[in-house]
Structure 1
Amino acid sequence: MNKTILTLTCCLAVILFLNSASSFGQGINAGVEIDPSGFGSKSDKDEKKVEKPDALADRIAVRFAKESKEIQEQKKKGYGYNELIKLLLIAQKADVKFETIIELRNKKTKIADIAKKYNLNYKEIYMESGKIKSELVFDPSEYLKPALASNTTDSQTINTQGETKPK
C-alpha cells in the first residue's frame, strides 16, 4: 500500500512538473514573477512631468513686453487669455505695474471696476483685448518675429514658416 501511494505521488509530481514547465514556456506563470527592471527605477508616478509652456501665454508676454514666466504663472492660477490681456492693457494704459492690477483682481474686483479706477473706458479695453487675442491666435508673426529674432539661440526653434532658422 505504501509502495502504491509513493508511486502515485511520484507520478503526480512528474505530471505537475511537466505541465508547469510547458506552461511557463507559453507565458503562463504561477502568479509570482520577478523582473529585474523593476528594481532601482522610478515609477511613472514618481517622475515629475515636464510641463510645456503655453504658447499663447508666451505670445501675450511678448506682445506686452513681460516675462513669459510671469504670464505662465497667472495662467496656471486660473486667469484666462482674455482676462490677462485686459489686465495687461489696463496696466499699460494706466502706466501701473501689472502686479498692482493682479492684486486688485485677486481681491475679486471686477475688471470694469479696475478700469474705472484708472479712468479708462472698459468697452475700449474689451474691444482692444479681443482684437489683440485674435491677432495673437491667428497671426502672431507681426508681434513675435522682431522680438524673437533678436533673442534666438542655437537651441531655439522659431516657427516663422521657414524665414528664420537656428544657426
Structure 2
Amino acid sequence: METQLQQALSRVHNLMHEDESIKALNMLENDAGLTAFAVRSNFLLTAAEKGCINIAQHLLENGADINCRDEHGNTPLHQAAWNRKPKMAKFLILHGAKINAVTENWYTPLHHAAFQQNPAIVQMLIYHGACQSIRAKVTGHLAKDEAPMGSDIRVSMEGAYATWMHNQWPFPSPNRPA
C-alpha cells in the first residue's frame, strides 16, 4: 500500500509530465502530513528531471534547496545532466547549483553529462568550472572516461582535460612562460 507521500508525489509526477503547472506544488503542500520543505526539495529533483523551469523557479523562490539530494546523493543538477536537460542545467547553474557536487559514489554532474553524451551540458559545466579530475569511487573513472571511446564528446573532453593538466603543471614548458 502506498503512503500518503508516495500517492501525492505520484500525482505531481503525472501532472508535471502532462503540464508544467504551479498548481501541482500547491496540491502537494495542501496534502496532510507533508512539510513544505520536504515537498519543495523532492519536487525540485523531479522538476529538474523533467526540465520544468517554471516550477523550479517557483520552488526556489519559496525556499527549496537548490542543492537538495535524493537517496543516492544526486542533486537537481545531476538530474538535469542525466536526463539531458541543458536549459534546466543552465538555470540551476545560474541560480547557484554546486557544479562539483558528488553522489555517494563520487559521480559529478559532468560524469552524468558525459555518460549521456550531451555535449551542450558538458561544455556548459566545463565553462562554469567543473572539475575534470574527480574520479568516481567505484570505477575510478574521470568524467571523460564515461563517454564512449572515439566519440566527439570524449575527444573534446580529452582535449579540455589535457589543457587543464597543462595549466596545472608547476614547471615551465616550451609552450608556457616561466
TM-score of the pair, normalised by structure 1: 0.22
Bigger CA radius of gyration: 1
Q: Which has the higher contact order (CA 8 A, sep 6+)?
A: 1
